[in-house]
Amino acid sequence: MIATADIVRELRAAGLAGREDVVLEPLTGGVSCDVWKVDTPTGPIVVKRPLPQLRVAAEWLAPVERGTSEVRWLRRARAVDPAIVPEVLAELPGHAFAMRFLPGCPVWKDELTAGRVDIRFAAEVGRSIAEVHAATANSAHDRDAFPNDAMFRALRVDPFFLHVAQKDTELAPALYALADDLVSRKVALVHGDVSPKNILVNAGAPVFLDAECAVYGDPAFDPAFCVTHLLLKAVWLDDIRLVESAAALVAAYRAGISWEVADDLLLRAGKLTAGLLVARVDGKSPAPYLTDAAHRRIVRDQARALILAPQPVDVLVANWKRTDP
């Protein structure tokens, strides 16, 4: 484990800090990394260092090499559209890295929980995700640059799908099949953690962070992951606008699908969304805000039915219930 003094030394070696005192201000909210804000002579930056053991109740180990994978995703996405990611300034030892801090950009999750729901912004999220997928689809170069299957399995497949399958005999066949299909598809560059907590709002446009789970895989995972969060929050906050945001995201994403039949992808996304919804109630990393037993039951009952009788993600969203019938 690298000490913070080593981080400071490496920032100086990279030309990002001078001889003056350097203060690492911890930023909270994540479970997988140490993150600090650092004021430098050229403006504030963020330093991120992955943890080998995630900060969750269950044992959840993950390779720290994911920090390097995140840097690669940020740089590749920046080549597609510089507006949708922060600039990476330097890679540091221990798979840490420094990137530009974007002041005045609220986190989308904070906006949603405060009741400031912009459905047009959700559509921009869907459009931007599709833009990266379209630019990297069926690319041997991108596939070779992201040989991260083991990491994606450790961070996404095992804790979300297989953890539930090992405990639930009724859902196990569908979840095992879902996991096998997910890891077998090599279609486009996947962010792997498109969540409102990992998206900044920059003058009405999304900026994506935290691509630790990046893999060349099934693009359906990204919209499914974000839709899952919006539907969970719709139940938690009983806000129809969050369901409408999910619908807008899916519609904008669908409009950008150019690499395969859209209906096929949306059905896969629906299956993944159902599995992820169950995982955020009964998996290794349950949604921390779903503390109400009634809310968990509303999510669980709908998700279990959808795993056993899948629907395309747009249909799933249209039929989503925020409260008991």
Q: What is the number of other CB atoms lying within 10 angstroms of the CB of residue 96? A: 25
- Shared fold status for 4-100 and 108-318: no
Task: Give residue-wise pLDDT tens across range 224-240.
Answer: 999 999 999 999 999 99
23: β partners: none
pLDDT band at 57 (very low <50, low <70, confident <90, very high): very low
Classify 108-318 by CATH class. Answer: alpha beta
Q: Answer positive or negative: Cα dihedral of 225, 226, 230, 231.
A: negative
Which pLDDT does position 2 carry in this prediction? 45
Mean pLDDT of 117-132: 98
Which pLDDT does position 218 carry in this prediction? 98
Domain boundaries, the chain: 4-100, 108-318
What is the pTM (predicted TM-score) of this model?
0.88
Which pLDDT does position 297 carry in this prediction? 97
pLDDT band at 66 (very low <50, low <70, confident <90, very high): low
Mean pLDDT of 59-69: 61
Classify 4-100 by CATH class. Answer: alpha beta
Percent of the chain clearing pLDDT 70 (strictly above): 88
Which pLDDT does position 98 carry in this prediction? 84
The tokens describing 90, both together, are: 């330097």
Phi/psi of residue 33, nearest 5 degrees? -145, 155
Give the C-alpha separation, 73 to 79, whole Å: 10
Mean pLDDT of 54-61: 50
